[in-house]
Structure 1
Amino acid sequence: MERQRKGVSVVLIPSPLQGHIAPILGLADILYSNGFSIIIGHTLFNSPNPSAYPHFSFLPFSDQLTESEASTSDPLHLTNLINIRCALPLTRSLSQLLSDPSLDPIVCFISDAALHFTRSVCDSLRLPRLVLRTGGASSFLVFSLFPLLRQRGYLPIQECRGEEAVVELPPLKVKDLPRMESKDPEALYEFACRMSDELKSSSGVIWNTFEELEISALERLRHELGIPSYPIGPFHKHPTLASHSSSALRSPDESCIPWLDTREPNSVLYVSLGSIAAVSEREVVEMAWGLANSRQPFLWVLRPRSESEWLQPLPEGFMESVGGRGHVVRWAPQTQVLSHPAVGAFWTHNGWNSTLESICEGVPMICMPCFADQKVNAKYVSDVWKVGVQLPGEVERGEVEKAIARIMVEDEGKFTRERALELKHKASLCLQQHGSSRRSLDALISHILSYNNRQTHPVAGEEAK
């Protein structure tokens, strides 16, 4: 039976990027299933589909983006624009919401950590603000130490020092530190510092991770941030009462599931490099022939550059050479794919959602990180959790073939699969009644409810003082 409704609302706002939308909607489902009314605030750009979430209310606000700005391939620049332009539109929308007597009272605001502008909005309305970090704790620790890393000379990154150890953050090397292509070379540094500073000013931080996976980073961050910390992940594995609607911005090709049904257990390599990472035509060709030469069955998500150019980057004769051993789709229902018994490994860009989903299903990884936190995640996958291998350097068909053999055929792959299954078990235990994530969720619920009946924001129509 559904838990008793608590008579209070929580507003949640995601950053409008695929890797950020999914976890905040997952958190919203978790809170809804624990009795809270849910309001999803969102920009007009990449807005979620309200019909997929009939149990939520939605609060759109203007992002003031032009068409060219919204189509940028620079996610950091896009996020900075949203932080600059959205404070006033969100304040106006929230003010109207707070004055609506038909709604359950709003007791708390939960913001994506990337949207640091929400601090000023919540301060002006005297609304308690929690922050969701959609990435891992280990990568956020790196971001939080950017000033120290610059002071010690690791930043800006120098390619000639790539193999040098970062002694303050073992086991990372300089080449594993986050980087991102942007119009402004200082943009990532400034963004990371601002994100960390604004998070420290919040009432608490929610993590889509679990203690047993990232205990060292979580303990260090608790000390450095000085605010309540709630690791309640993995979100997508929580038993929720709400419908599990897809938050994907693309429609998945369901044909891959019956194709997987025809394959042997642990025989298929699933290949997907996420929703943003750009892969050059040369890399696609090298990936293709590496897959072909491996002789392993594969399911490959190949995102189209345009509707007319979907399969054009594939080399001539590739599809004929692999025959029925390979299946190529534009987008896949990833959690279904990773949980399928035919899938034996995952070639991934190591975005946090993908990394965590693979861990939860006990699927070993071939790591090909592209930017930002992905490099940190990949290093932890290969060297700390030991549930994957990294592709070295540039994508080259011979190295691709070797990596596939290591993870799918050789003894190293058997060890890696055993480690992955151990972590899968821990991810399951943490969500059980007395598990670490369940205890953290209970503490988070108590924290949110502690705001109830307080005068945390001004009477509707008044200016915050």
Structure 2
Amino acid sequence: MGKSHVLVIPFPAQGHVIPMMELSQRLIEQGVKVTFVNTEVIHNKIVTSNWINKDGVDDDLRHMVSIPDGLDPCEDRNDIVKLAKSISQNMPGKFEELIESVDKEDDTKITCIIADFNMAWAIRVAKKKGIKPAAFWSASVITLASVLSVEKLIDDGIINEKGMVLKDEMIRLSDSMLPMKPTNMFWVCFEDPALSEVAFQIVLAAKQASELTEWVLCNSTTELEAATFSMYPQLSPIGPLLASNRLADQTGHFWKEDTTCLAWLDQQPACSVIYIAFGSFTLFNQNQFEELAFGLELSNKPFLWVVRPGMTKETATIFPDGYMERIGSRGKIVSWAPQQKVLAHPSVACFVSHCGWNSTLEGVTNGLPFLCWPYFSDQFQDETYICDIWKTGLGLNKDERGIITREEIKSKIEVLFNNGMFRANALDIKEKVASSIAKGGCSHSNFNKFFEWIHEKDS
């Protein structure tokens, strides 16, 4: 029986790369050969973060390769409009060339392509080449539901044919699904209309491409999103795709981790530490940043805070005068943390999060209550899950200036620490999710069925 050879291509953002790397690792553990395709810029970031060997090959079954995104090295990849247009214009041809090159040089031809939903053109390339395609969705499935319901949203007059909101009122895609605000749909909630337009074009392309695949793999579980999976039985939950069972558990991170925070956590009492991290995109203005700093100071509890470079809109992140001296050893501030290890640490009591789906899953699988601070896109839907459906956390309210004040932060932290309901609910959800990925669970069974489908050609 010959080896299966899968080509995996994520959208070039950390929240997309991480779960697809984990999916790749699970396939490799089953003996599947994986060629993982990043853009050159992302590939170099991962190499620099020391996750893979400098030659780009980690072992016999995993090959890390790259193709250009079409932008010059000096151009700003944070300009998503420019990046998305360049990707769609330049990468399909390079991707085809890569497939031909791999098939020519490798003794195992590519037999399946797993493409990020946001790289839908790769699915069309797979069909053109006669290769089995599968799509992968990295965010919450409620977010994907809005993509699959685009035609209904247009017919109902909720959005127009360019994806712009016509009626800003709460909607339900089905009676059993949670309500959503149209302005929180992930292609709408950008300040730049041009970016919303590009995002909606990606949505339309993804929806069309998904109809060309037998498999739409989702980084979620029926335990977390039962109503949505019930409405869309064609979707296959295989998550959460986390690597907590391995030493090298931070696959795909773009920044070097500061592991000194783990020794600091060892010195703290059990269930005492507030962990604060906002992912790779969230930006604060200086005023809001300082209110957060003061709120943590006023909490009078130990805290571990990830303050990555470029987290504030100003040129440099500036802490309030005398802040470091006042918090002393009670606070630990790092530029990037080994998050899964942090969240699994017994001293961590709660997670102040932007509610990105990867972070949400990491918090859920460690049974932690949340303090929710969403920034954009699907994060608002994830907050609704946490606060209203799972009841494992609290949201934060802004004042008349649009600021979350230090008093609001201090108050909500006190509620999380003093109300045992949030911890109890979080531990209950943790057990249910663990059962899904255990042998016989829904996610475990779906993954095995997918693996068998990949292997069918070789039997």
Coarse TM-score class (shorter-chain normalised): 0.7 to 0.9
Match for residue 65 of structure 1 among 62, 67, 71? 71
In the aligned structure 1, how far is the partner of 2:427 from the partner of 2:355? Answer: 18
Deviation at 1:140, TM superposition (A): 1.1
Q: Distance in 2 between matches of 1:39 and 1:6?
A: 16
144-153 or 78-87: bigger deviation: 144-153
Residue equivalent to 2:347 = 342
- 1:141 aligns with 145
Where does residue 117 of structure 1 map in the other structure? 121
Unaligned runs of 5+ in 1: 454-465
Indicate the residue corresponding to 1:451 in structure 2: 457
Counterpart of 1:370 (choices 372, 375, 378) is: 375
Q: Distance in 2 between matches of 1:296 and 1:79?
A: 43
Matches within 5 A, 1:9-408: 9-47=5-43, 48-49=46-47, 50-51=52-53, 54-55=58-59, 56-69=62-75, 71-75=76-80, 77-100=82-105, 102-155=106-159, 156-157=164-165, 164-168=169-173, 170-174=178-182, 176-178=184-186, 179-182=189-192, 184=194, 185-222=196-233, 227=234, 229-237=235-243, 244=249, 246-305=251-310, 312-393=317-398, 394=402, 395-408=404-417
Kept in 2, the 8 Å contact 1:139–1:377? The answer is no
SS of the residue corresponding to residue 252 of structure 1 reads coil
CA distance in 1, matches of 2:255, 2:85: 24
Identity %: 26
Deviation digits for residues 87-136 of structure 1 (CA, Å, limit 9, x no counterpart): 10110111121223x42232111111111111232122111110111111
What is the identity, as a one-letter code, of the residue corresponding to 1:322? I
Number of the residue aligned with 2:425: 419
Letter matched to residue 4 of structure 2 = V
CA RMSD between the two structures: 2.4
Partner deviation per Cα, 1:27-60 (whole Å, 9 max, x = no partner): 0000000111111122112114341861211332
Distance 1:94 1:365, change over 3 A: same
Q: Distance in 2 between matches of 1:180 and 1:272?
A: 21
Q: Secondary structure at the match of 1:45?
A: helix
Q: Distance in 2 between matches of 1:296 and 1:157?
A: 42
DSSP-derived class of the 1:451 partner: helix
Q: What is the deviation of 1:252?
A: 0.7
Is the alpha carbon distance of 1:157 and 1:25 closer, same or farther for their aligned partners in structure 2, counting shifts above 3 Å?
same
Which amino acid in the other structure matches residue 290 of structure 2?
Answer: V
In structure 2, do the counterparts of structure 1 residues 243 and 265 end up closer, same or farther at CA, with 3 Å as the change threshold?
A: closer
Unaligned 5+ runs, structure 2: none
Shift of the 382–306 alpha-carbon distance from structure 1 to 2, 3 Å rule, reads closer
Residue-by-residue CA offset, 1:167-215 (whole Å, 9 max, x unaligned) = 4353324454431234604233332222222222223111111121112
Which letter does structure 2 place at the counterpart of 1:7? K
> How far 1:421 moved relative to its partner?
0.4
Shift of 1:77: 4.5
Deviation at 1:437, TM superposition (A): 1.4
Asked if 1 retains the 8 angstrom alpha-carbon contact of 2:112 and 2:134, the reply is: yes
After superposition, the Cα gap between the structure-2 partners of 1:80 and 1:238, relative to the gap in structure 1 and judged at 3 Å, is farther
Tell me, in whole angstroms, the C-alpha distance in 1 between the residues paired with 2:327 and 2:415.
Answer: 20
Conserved in 2, the CA contact under 8 Å of 1:138 and 1:217? yes
On the 8 A contact 1:238/1:431 being kept in 2, the answer is: no
193-202 vs 321-330, greater mean Cα deviation: 193-202
Partner amino acid, structure 2, of 1:105: K
Query: Once the 2 structures are TM-superposed, how far is the Cα of residue 6 of structure 1 from its aligned partner?
Result: 5.7
Deviation at 1:400, TM superposition (A): 1.4
The residue type equivalent to 1:171 in the other structure is: P
